[in-house]
Amino acid sequence: MSYVVRMPKLGVEMETGIVIEWHLDVGETAEEGDVIAEIESEKSTAEVAAREDGALRERYLAVGEEGPPGAAMGIFAPPDADISSLRAEVDVDSDDTEEAAEGEDAEPTESEPDADDAGPTDSAEEPTQPSVDDGTVRASPRAKRRAEELGVTLSRVEGTGPEGGIVADDVAAAAGDAGGRTIREERTFSGMRSTIADRLSTSYREAAHVTVDREVEVEAAFDAADAAGEDASLTDVLLLAVSATLEEHPEFNATFDAETETHTLYEEHNIGVAVDLEGGLVTPVIPDVGGKSIDELARQRGRLTDRVLDGEYDADDLSGGTFTVSNLGVVGSDSFTPIINPPEIAILGVNRVRERPVNTDSGIEFPRHITFSLSFDHRVVDGADAARFLVTLDETLAAAEKLLD
């Protein structure tokens, strides 16, 4: 059987996938179950396997190119099979996509490429199209974006792409020559990094971000972590303290739907804990933190963190969060503005531990403190609510031994 290889959907929140490797060149064969490609979504990777014996007859997405779930990646069929109907199916999909794009946010151009020119490509650069610059310059969409970013006039750039078209590297080279800057390196966003950028930009643009800071003494929290045993850490005590605080302030354990203006509060405290990977931060979710003992929490958090660091996590590990904690204290931050992870309405930033001089009856002492930075969506809760949340967190940590009961 012949079929169109399509971009798989990795979880309900996946918006786009990027091809990170093809295991077959066009014309090469594979057996059923063999991996023919690897793709990366916003937060995970997956292998695409052959559904039966056959050959990769066409390739529509090159390495580095992306598409939404269901997008045509290629055609897989027996070497001698007629694939004209599958090609037509892909052409129809492309036409539908182009018509939708034209209806939503098309840009005027002097001319459009003929439909007969459409076809598979193995190039990582986007196809060149007539530029809107002056009606004669040919430049890829990526090159146009780079020209806008770098302030380069396309008509002055010498193209090295197909038919003399201008590609992104040509624009970068021209920028270096014209501006007296030598480019050291260009880092193109991966699927994960690109999606992180899009989601956080959307969050900051749409939510009314406000951050409130409070410095809290944490000597009792350190004592509780020591008393809990070698598997537990200060992080686990902090998570239990956050859960106890959410119990007192349930309006923060919530999501917000701007379309329906619905503020949804949840019973379980499903707390996301940001983990720093090479490609960016991911936020695996620990479900029902308040229903766990500190030993159970420490074990589950450890297993989940290991899976993320080993790249073995999936979309389910990242979904269902009701509140997020991000710890930059491990890299030395004193204060920061964490960005809310939508559709949640709040995120708690944890900063580094510092000793502060305190005048006591016994003289000057230096107990350890942490500054907590709470970002919240001001459309949903107010600054006074956030201040009260941090007061409760302070009081909970001051009596941290009770969290071990």
Q: Domain boundaries in the chain?
A: 3-104, 127-188, 208-404
Distance of alpha carbon 141 from alpha carbon 87, whole angstroms: 25
Per-residue model confidence (pLDDT) at position 344: 95
Q: How many residues are present in the chain?
A: 405
Pick the CATH number of 127-188 from 3.20.20.120, 3.20.20.70, 3.40.50.740, 4.10.320.10: 4.10.320.10
Average pLDDT, the chain: 84
Bond before 69 cis per omega within 30 degrees: no
Instruction: Determine the pLDDT at residue 105.
Output: 45
Amino acid at 159: G
- Residue 95 has a pLDDT of 59
Classify the phi-psi angles of 261: left when phi > 0, otherwise alpha if psi is within -120 to 50, otherwise beta: left
Task: Give me the phi and psi of 163, to 5 degrees please.
Answer: 55, 30
Statement: residue 72 has pLDDT above 60: yes
Dump the DSSP string for 197-257: HHHHHHHHHHS-EEEEEEEEE-HHHHHHHHHH-TT--HHHHHHHHHHHHHHH-GGGSEEEE
77 φ, ψ to 5°?
-160, 165
Highest mean pLDDT among 111-120, 148-157, 261-270: 261-270
Percent of all residues in the chain with a pLDDT value above 70, rounded to a whole number: 82
Tokens 């066009």 belong to 26
> Are the beta carbons of 77 and 83 closer than 8 angstroms?
yes
Output the CA torsion sign for 218, 223, 226, 227.
Answer: negative
- Residue 302 is predicted with a pLDDT of 94
DSSP, collapsed to helix, strand or coil, labels residue 75 as strand
CB contact burial 305-318 (16+ within 10 A = b; e otherwise):
beebeeeebebebb
Over 50: is that where the pLDDT of 106 sits? no
Q: Is the confidence at residue 101, as pLDDT, over 60?
A: no
Which comes out higher in pLDDT, residue 363 or 266? 266
What's the topology of domain 3-104?
OB fold (Dihydrolipoamide Acetyltransferase, E2P) (2.40.50)
pLDDT of the residue at 108: 40
Q: If we measure between CA atoms, which residue out of 136, 164, 165, 166 comes closest to residue 152?
A: 166
pLDDT given at position 166: 85
Lowest mean pLDDT of 2-11, 274-283, 340-349, 371-380, name the range.
274-283
Q: What is the mean pLDDT of residues 240-260?
A: 96
Range with the poorest average pLDDT among 132-146, 241-255, 284-298: 132-146
Amino acid sitting at position 52: E
In angstroms, the CA 251 to CA 196 distance is 26
What number is the average pLDDT over the span 69-92?
Answer: 91
Q: Are 29 and 44 in contact (CB under 8 A)?
A: no
Report the pLDDT value the prediction gives residue 17, as an integer from 0 to 100. Answer: 87
- Whether 380 has a pLDDT exceeding 70, the answer reads yes
* CATH class as words, domain 208-404: alpha beta
Q: Which residues 6+ apart lie within 8 Å of 305 measured at CB?
A: 273, 275, 284
Whether the per-residue pLDDT at 113 is higher than 50: the answer is: no
Give the position of tokens 């939708």: 100
Judge whether 164 and 170 are in contact, CB under 8 Å: no
What are the pLDDT digits (tens) for 155-201?
Answer: 888 888 766 778 878 888 887 655 555 667 776 766 666 776 777 67
The model scores a pTM over 0.85: no
Query: Tokens in use for 393?
Result: 């967190």
151 against 366, higher pLDDT? 366
For residue range 251-290, what is the model confidence (pLDDT) as tens digits? 999 999 988 999 999 999 999 999 988 767 889 999 999 9
pLDDT at 297 over 60: yes
Cα Rg of the chain (Å, integer): 26
For residues 44 and 5, give the distance between their C-alpha atoms in angstroms, rounded to a whole number. 19
Residue 24 has what pLDDT? Answer: 92
Rounded Cα distance between 277 and 155, Å, is: 41
Which two tokens mark 34? 């063999």
